[in-house]
Structure 1
Amino acid sequence: MKKIIILFLILAACKDSDNSRTENNMDFDLSNTKKGTEHLQSGNNELAIEHFNKVINNTELNSTNFIIAEAYIGRATAKGELGDFRGAISDLTKVIDKSNVKHLKAQAYFLRGVGYSNINDTDSACNDWSKAGEMGISKAYEYIREDCI
C-alpha cells in the first residue's frame, strides 16, 4: 500500500482551481487536503480521514472540482490502509462517477482495483486496472500480469 500512498502524493501535488467556489472555501479545502495528505504520509490514517472529511463535507463533488476529488481519493487511501476496503471502494466510485479530471479518474480506477483485489473480487479488480492502464497508469499492467492472467 506504500506504493499507492506515494502515487497519491505525487498526484496530490498538482492543484487546479474551481472558479465557482469562493476563495475562502478553496483555502479551507486546500489546507485540509494538505493536512490530510501529510497525515496520510506519516501513517496517521485516522487524522487524515478527519481532514479529508472536512473537505468532503464542505463542498459537493462535481465534474470539475479537483480538490474534492483529491480528498475522496485521499480518504479512500487512508481507509484502505485501515482495512476498510469497501469504504475505500465507495469513495473511489464517487470520483469515477462524478469527476471529469482524467488523471484523478485513472487513479481512482487503479486504487479501486486494489480495493477489489483486497476483498477477493478479482474480476472487478482486473476490469478497473485495465481501465486505469488505458487511461495512462502503466503500473496497472503490472497488477494485471500478477493477478489477472
Structure 2
Amino acid sequence: MKQTILILTTFFFFNIGVGQNRYSTVTPSRYEPMSFDELSVVAMSLQKRYDANQKYLYEMKKWILELKPQIKEQSYLTRLDKEYKDLTDIEDGDLARATKYLKQTENAIREIISDYNIWVSNQNNNNSTSRNSGQTNDSSGNYAQIGMQHLQNREYALAVRNFSKYLETDKNNTDVIFFRAMAKGELGDRFGAISDYDKVIELNSNYPMQYNKVAMAYNNKAYSYVKLKEYEKALPIVEKALELDESEWYFWDTRGEIYLNLGKYKQSISDLNKALKIEKNPNSYLLRGLALIKSGEKENGCKDLSKAGEMGSEEAYTEIEKNCN
C-alpha cells in the first residue's frame, strides 16, 4: 500500500525582536541606577517576551501532537518525542530568554518532517519498482507528494502542475483537488479555485477527504468570493461551513469579514468574538478593530489593531495610521 506523504500542519510562528538593554555598552565606572519607571519598562518587556515565548512553545507542542498520528516510522516518532520532551523540560524555566532555543526547536521539527517525506518518497519508489518487476517506474503516483512539497514551499504554480498530473490518473481524489484549489487561490486564480472546491463538495459523499473536512471546502470557496468582493454570494456558503462545523476559528473569521464588508458591524463583532474565543489570532483582532471603529468605538478598535500588530500583522499598522492618529 502506498505510503502517504506527511501533511504539514499549517503553523505560523512569529519573530520576537530582542534588543540590547541600556547597559549594553556602559562600563562599570559609568553605571547609573535605573529609576522605578525604567525598571518597570524592563519588567514589562520581559513579561511580554515571556508570554510570547510561552505561546510559541505551546503551539509547537500542539504541532508535534498533530504530526505524530501522520507518521508511520518509529525512528521519526522518536525524534519528535525528544523535541516534545525538551519543550516540556523548559516549560517552567526562564522563557523570556528562550527565543533562540525555541527557534532551533522549530527548525529541528521541520527537519524531521523533511527527512520523513524523503523516506516516504523512497519507500514508494521502492514499492513501485518491486510491483513493476524491473519495468520502467511510472512516477505518476509521486505527483501528489511533489505537489505537496511545492505547496509547502509556496511554489504554487509548480504545485498546481503536479496536482493536475496526479489527477490525470486519480481524478476523484478530493484531497488532491482541495490542495490544488488552495494553490490556485494563492496564485489569484479565484474562479479556478472555486471550480475545484465545487468538485470537492460534489464528490465528497462518495470520495470523502482523509486529511481535510468538507466544511473547509465551503469556507475556502466563500473566502474566494470574499477576495472577489462578492460578499452577498459568499455569505450563504460560509454559513454552510458553520452549519457543518463551528469549531474552526477561521470559519467565524470569514463570516465576520463578510459582515464587516456588508456594513453589519454588530454581527461582525459577534462572529469575531467567537473566532477569538477559539483561538487568539491577528486577523480576527484586525477585523474586529475595524468593525469597532466603524461602530463608533474608536479607542477599543485601535486597541484591537495594536494587538493585531503585536501578533505580526503588518496591515494592522497601515490601518492604525489611517484610523487611530
TM-score above 0.5: yes
1:51 and 2:231 are equivalent in the alignment: no
Q: Which of 248, 273, 277 is the matching residue for 1:134?
A: 277
1:86 and 2:232 are equivalent in the alignment: yes
**Which amino acid in the other structure matches residue 35 of structure 1?**
R
Alignment match, 2:178: 33
Tell me the CA shift for residue 86 of structure 1. 1.9
Tell me the CA shift for residue 97 of structure 1. 1.6
Query: C-alpha distance in 2, partners of 1:50/1:28?
Result: 15
Mind listing any 5+ residue stretches in structure 2 that lack a counterpart? 1-8, 12-65, 71-169, 206-210, 298-325
1:118 and 2:261 are equivalent in the alignment: yes
Query: C-alpha distance in 2, partners of 1:125/1:138?
Result: 16
Cα 1:10–1:87 shift into 2, 3 Å: farther
Secondary structure of residue in 2 paired with 1:38: helix
Deviations 1:61-117 (A, max 9, x none): xxxx943122112111111111221222212111212125x2xx3111001100111
Equivalent residues of 2:256, 2:287 under 8 A apart? no
Equivalent residues of 1:29, 1:67 under 8 A apart? no
Bigger relative contact order, structure 1 or 2 (CA pairs below 8 A, ≥6 apart): 1
Equivalent residues of 1:33, 1:70 under 8 A apart? no
Equivalent residues of 2:238, 2:255 under 8 A apart? yes
Alignment match, 1:72: 218
Q: Which of 237, 242, 252 is the matching residue for 1:96?
A: 242
Tell me the CA shift for residue 10 of structure 1. 3.9
Equivalent residues of 2:215, 2:242 under 8 A apart? no
**Which amino acid in the other structure matches residue 221 of structure 2?**
R
Mind listing any 5+ residue stretches in structure 1 that lack a counterpart? 1-8, 18-24
Size of the alignment, in residue pairs? 126
Query: C-alpha distance in 2, partners of 1:70/1:97?
Result: 12
How do 1:137-148 residues align onto structure 2 when only pairs under 5 Å count?
Answer: 137-139=280-282, 140-148=284-292
Query: C-alpha distance in 2, partners of 1:92/1:72?
Result: 6
**Which amino acid in the other structure matches residue 260 of structure 2?**
S
Tell me the CA shift for residue 35 of structure 1. 1.0
Q: What percentage of aligned pairs have identical amino acids?
A: 17
Query: C-alpha distance in 1, partners of 2:261/2:233?
Result: 12
Runs (4 or more) in structure 1 with deviation over 3 Å come to 14-17
Cα 1:29–1:45 shift into 2, 3 Å: same
**Which amino acid in the other structure matches residue 226 of structure 2?**
G
Greater C-alpha Rg: 2
Q: CA RMSD in A?
A: 3.0
